Amino acid sequence: MKGFLNKQAPYIFIAPTLILLTLFSIVPILVALVISFTDMDLGGLANFNSISFIGFENYVEVLKDPVFMKAIYNTIFYVVIGVPLVILFSLAIALLINLGTSRIFKAFRVVYYLPSVTNIVAVAVVWNYLYNPTLGLFNYLLNLVGLPDVPWLTEPTIAKLSLILLALWKAVGLNMIIFIAALQGIPKSYYEAAQLDGANTWQQVTRITIPMLRFAIFFVSITTMIGWLQFFEEPFVMTQGGPLDGTLSVALFIYQNGFKFNNFGYAAAGSFVLFVCIIAITLVQLKLQKNESDMT
Amino acid sequence: MSTAMEGKKKDSRKQSSGAAFQWLSGIVLTIGGLFFLLPFFWMITSSFKPEGEIVQIPPTFWPESFTMHNFTYLFNNMKFDVYFKNTLIIVLFSYIGLLLNALAGFGFAKYDFKGRNALFVLVLATMMIPSQVTMIPVYLILNSLGLTNTMTGIVLPGLVGAFAIFLFRQFMSTIPTELLEATRLDGASEYRIFAQIVLPITKPILAVQAILTFIGGWNSFLWPLIIANDESLYTLSVGLSLLKGQYAANFGLQMAGATFMVVPVILLFTYFQKHIIENFSISGMK
């Protein structure tokens, strides 16, 4: 028995995780695909016999649903505005920290990274208070310098931008660390050679650093984009998708249809539309990256 | 002679422009850093203000009358003690998950068995599945197993993770096979090798993973939100989002709840930051 256990050891090592991953990641994909073609709701949960297959009806319905269209529009808005901002800010901060020679620059790493480890619900609650129209700190500070109030969370477009600002604050740290790690991988001799040729700091950054960071920038843009396509907790805690569905994201739409209205089949169809979009966008990005590296 | 002088002059000018740049970037980073810390500062100071001071305009930057009332209210009138206990239980369970991840990482790193590569690709593929797609089916699966509204149901879906398995595998691949072979010749079983040789060597990455696992468990939100119907199973995050709905106008109370959630993580992270950041630098980009 002991010999048998020993021989099977590698399988026993990987079995628990494989079973859990299969049960909660792989099987659910198939289940989601199946129920997206059914009218499963709360009644179906109690009695499987009441579920019937309805073909592509859910997909047709969801793609006609004006609320879903709104959610897609908002999600694209989040991605288009949010992703470039995240890359720009995390890269700029990483460059400044990396060029710094004093020890204090190491402390900045912690300061900018802190929001990334904190709880999203707590953070959303705090920012909700900062954004409060009458008691919030932000409007008070704006008034202090003579600027008018901003309707942070009450005007649909500004509300989207407010959520982006919060998410940006939270996302910069992790990506900054990735950029710093990549920056430290660039050989010092490149800079020394450029200095001998009389290149100034700006030239060194634009001609050496940025091109050398191409892979890191690509990595960050793909992971950030996938993350923003799944934007969920910020609108869930702060606005519940309001005002007038102005901050509703696709992920929140799926959650609300699944767990608030119990339309499991309908929500699953929506989630597959999101999944296909994520895969398509990732593949396009991979292709673009490949073309670019072929060219150089 | 004159060229040497010129060279020196150029050098010192370059140095002074370098120093100016250092100062400028230091100032920019400080201003940005203050903005980054402002929400935390405001959260902590507001949590100690009495309700009257919170609604005061203009706001006070430092609590004029310092009170602990918001915190005691959380524990006496809300169930924050229960949420706290549940959160700790989830953290404890996630350490079992950490051990399972380490075991799987070892299995993939140091054994050659049939289907190893295919299975590892399968593990990596699960990283790409968005949680919105699995959210509903996992709920249905747990429901058919009778695990909704139980602690087991809350813990199971997020117990193991592909990224941690990947990190462990990468690190454990660097352990010399001869070392394991020698221990095997001494008659040690595979399980003993894992516990007494591999785990101690893996300590640096294990330590970092332990901190990240704590933070992940402490912050867990989605599964408790979906699986727990009963307030007695809520975690701190779920309780806090509930609090925000119930006491929408009581910002002092909300800030106290947020402070209670955020400050332990800030302290833990600041204390271990060097290891965590370096771990990212080493493992993140390889």
Per-residue pLDDT of chain A (296 residues; tens, 9 = 90+): 567 777 788 889 999 999 999 999 889 999 888 888 888 887 777 777 777 878 888 898 888 889 999 999 999 999 999 999 999 999 999 988 888 877 888 888 889 989 988 888 999 899 998 988 888 888 888 888 888 888 888 888 899 999 999 999 999 988 898 888 888 888 888 888 888 888 888 888 888 888 888 888 888 888 888 888 888 888 988 888 878 888 899 999 999 998 888 888 899 999 989 998 888 888 888 888 777 666 54
Q: Alpha-carbon distance A97 to B47, whole Å? A: 32
> Which of A22, A24, A255 is the best mutation test for B, with the most CBs of B within 10 A?
A24
Kindly indicate the confidence band of residue B97, based on its pLDDT and cuts at 50, 70 and 90: very high
- pLDDT of B284 reads 45
- pLDDT of B4 reads 46
Closest Cα of chain A to B129: distance in Å?
7
The pair of three-digit structure tokens given for residue B54, joined into one six-digit string: 């919170």
Phi/psi region, residue B150 (left: phi>0; alpha: psi -120 to 50; beta: rest), is beta
Q: Alpha-carbon distance A30 to A38, whole Å? A: 13
C-alpha distances (whole Å) from A145 to each of A131, A132, A160, B193, B222 are 17, 18, 24, 66, 40
Of B54, B136, B244, the CB nearest to A237: B244
Strand partners, A38: A53
Task: Give the residue on B whose Cα is nearest the Cα of A236.
Answer: B241
Phi, psi (degrees; rounded to nearest 5) at B161: -140, 140
Residue B100 with chain A: CB contacts under 8 Å: 16-17, 20
Q: Alpha-carbon distance B215 to A4, whole Å? A: 39
- pLDDT of B6 reads 46
Closest Cα of chain A to B270: distance in Å?
7
Which residue would you say has higher pLDDT here, B10 or B66?
A: B66
Torsion, Cα B258 B261 B266 B268, to 10 degrees, reads 170
Closest Cα of chain A to B139: distance in Å?
9
Residue B19 with chain A: CB contacts under 8 Å: none
- pLDDT of B161 reads 87
Type of residue at B248: A
Torsion, Cα B150 A233 B258 B76, to 10 degrees, reads -30
Helix (H, G, I), strand (E, B) or coil at B146: coil
Q: Alpha-carbon distance A33 to A35, whole Å? A: 6
- pLDDT of B15 reads 53
Q: Report which of A251, A274, A271, A219 is spatially closest to residue A35, judged by C-alpha positions.
A: A271
Which residue would you say has higher pLDDT here, A63 or B15?
A: A63
User: Crossing angle for the helix pair A9-21 and B80-110, nearest 10 degrees?
Assistant: 130
Confidence check: pLDDT of B107 > 90: yes
How many CB atoms are located within 10 Å of the residue A129 CB?
23
Phi, psi (degrees; rounded to nearest 5) at B113: -130, 170
Of B126, B130, B162, the CB nearest to A275: B130
C-alpha distances (whole Å) from A213 to each of A205, A208, A222, B281 are 10, 9, 14, 14
- pLDDT of B237 reads 92
Closest Cα of chain B to A83: distance in Å?
18
C-alpha distances (whole Å) from B283 to each of A108, B117, B165 are 21, 21, 12
Strand partners, A53: A38
Of A109, A182, A275, the CB nearest to B285: A182
Of A18, A104, A264, the CB nearest to B136: A264
Closest Cα of chain A to B112: distance in Å?
8
Confidence check: pLDDT of B99 > 90: yes
Interchain pair B160, A20: CB under 8 A: yes
Burial-class residue B8 by CB neighbours within 10 Å (0-12, 13-18, 19+): exposed
Among the ranges given (A97-106, B142-151, B182-191), the one the predictor scored with the smallest mean pLDDT: A97-106
- pLDDT of B2 reads 44
The pair of three-digit structure tokens given for residue B63, joined into one six-digit string: 């609590």
Percent of chain B that is helix, strand, coil (3-state, to 5): 80, 0, 20
- pLDDT of B37 reads 92
Helix (H, G, I), strand (E, B) or coil at A38: strand
Closest Cα of chain A to B241: distance in Å?
6
Q: Chains A, B: CB contacts under 8 A, how many?
A: 274
Interchain pair B132, A119: CB under 8 A: no
Task: Give the residue on B whose Cα is nearest the Cα of A137.
Answer: B59
Q: What does the pLDDT average to over B237-244? A: 89
Percent of residues, chain B, with pLDDT higher than 90: 25
Confidence check: pLDDT of B59 > 50: yes
Interchain pair B133, A274: CB under 8 A: yes
Helix (H, G, I), strand (E, B) or coil at B167: helix
C-alpha distances (whole Å) from B3 to each of B7, B117, B255, B266, B283 are 6, 64, 65, 55, 48
Residue B149 with chain A: CB contacts under 8 Å: none
Q: Report which of A170, A76, A77 is spatially closest to residue A117, judged by C-alpha positions.
A: A170
The pair of three-digit structure tokens given for residue B214, joined into one six-digit string: 């704590």
Residue A258 with chain B: CB contacts under 8 Å: 135-136, 139
The pair of three-digit structure tokens given for residue A294, joined into one six-digit string: 């072929």
Q: Report which of A245, A286, A272 is spatially closest to residue A75, judged by C-alpha positions.
A: A245
Length of chain A equals 296
Helix (H, G, I), strand (E, B) or coil at A53: strand
Q: Report which of A265, A264, A270, A260 is spatially closest to residue A236, judged by C-alpha positions.
A: A260
Contacts of A290 (CB under 8 A, 6+ apart): none
Residue B261 with chain A: CB contacts under 8 Å: 118-119, 121-122
Among the ranges given (A58-72, B8-22, B215-229), the one the predictor scored with the smallest mean pLDDT: B8-22
Interchain pair B138, A28: CB under 8 A: yes
Q: Alpha-carbon distance A280 to A142, whole Å? A: 42
Q: Report which of A243, A149, A28 is spatially closest to residue B129, judged by C-alpha positions.
A: A28
Type of residue at A139: N
ipTM, two decimals, is: 0.84
Kindly indicate the confidence band of residue B9, based on its pLDDT and cuts at 50, 70 and 90: very low
Task: Give the residue on A whose Cα is nearest the Cα of B212.
Answer: A117
Which residue would you say has higher pLDDT here, A223 or B285?
A: A223
Q: What does the pLDDT average to over B35-57? A: 86
* CATH T-level fold of A60-295: MetI-like fold (1.10.3720)
The pair of three-digit structure tokens given for residue A96, joined into one six-digit string: 């400044």
Task: Give the residue on B whose Cα is nearest the Cα of A10.
Answer: B107
Interchain pair B277, A14: CB under 8 A: no
- Cβ-contact A145, A232 below 8 angstroms: no
Q: What does the pLDDT average to over B158-165? A: 88
> Which of A17, A135, A170 is the best mutation test for B, with the most CBs of B within 10 A?
A17
Q: Alpha-carbon distance B54 to A30, whole Å? A: 51
